[in-house]
Amino acid sequence: MNSAGEAFGWAFRDPSWAGKMIVQALILIIPIVGWIATTGWLMMAFENARAGRNELPPAGFHLGRGIAFFGVLLIYSIALNIPGWILQLVGSAGMVQRCNQGFCSSQFVGGPLSGLGALWGFLVQLLIYFITPTLVVMVFHHGFAGGFDLAGVWRYATANVGNSVIAGMLFFVSGIIAALGIIACCIGVFLTIVYSATVQAGVTAWFERMQSAPAAPAA
């Protein structure tokens, strides 16, 4: 993966890309199990991309490969968002009754702390995008425990902040692409999510190579 942009076309270098992605998208429809399986498929795609193989992994229930990263990302998301949820709960002003021309309705009104909680959630989402490529690399090499080596995760992510920012932005873009499938009667979203996983695998392969590259000599 010579550049991060190549990740968007990497999947199509495999002559069998359509069949593999369609089958994996059908598996993704299964709640929880399908999500873990597709996460495992992402990890296997990352393994191929980092090895220079222009080949998608076979579709399947790759639960053993996906459970570690799925669990790590889920725990990070919950743990980091807890303060924001507390702020929103404490800051909520509750329901108020509003009437207009004889018609009344109940509306939720949030207080100042509720807005602070929403801001916290936004910042947490940015942080997760920033560290997710690092989490993929750490879990790939060190398993579940590698994802919770907080010092190691932060050290790797900040070894070259620019690379982490670029990779995080591309993960964000791939998330937008994944959501576009809703336009196709909602069913297409499963296929765009699977394609998004291939983009993330390619981006992470580029990210790992760049983070591991020796620093340029000082002028």
217 in a structural domain: no
Structure tokens at 153: 């995760």
3-state DSSP assignment of residue 93: strand
pTM of the model: 0.85
Residues 6+ apart with CB under 8 A from 99: 105
Distance CA(208)–CA(153), nearest Å, equals 13
Predicted confidence at residue 139, as pLDDT, reads 96
3-state DSSP assignment of residue 103: strand
Strand 103-110, strand 92-100: pairing: antiparallel
218 in a structural domain: no
Q: Is 185 left (phi over 0), alpha (psi -120 to 50) or beta?
A: left
219 in a structural domain: no
Predicted confidence at residue 219, as pLDDT, reads 45
Beta-carbon count within 10 A of 200 CB: 25
How many domains, in total, are found in the chain?
A: 1
Written as tens digits, the pLDDT of the chain (219 aa) is: 778 889 999 999 999 999 999 999 999 999 999 999 999 999 999 999 999 999 999 999 999 999 999 999 999 999 999 998 888 877 665 545 566 665 666 555 556 677 788 899 999 999 999 999 999 999 999 999 999 999 999 999 999 999 999 999 999 999 888 887 766 556 678 999 999 999 999 999 999 999 986 555 544
Predicted confidence at residue 212, as pLDDT, reads 83
Q: Which domain holds residue 96?
A: 4-212
3-state DSSP assignment of residue 108: strand
Predicted confidence at residue 188, as pLDDT, reads 79
3-state DSSP assignment of residue 159: coil
Q: Is 193 left (phi over 0), alpha (psi -120 to 50) or beta?
A: alpha
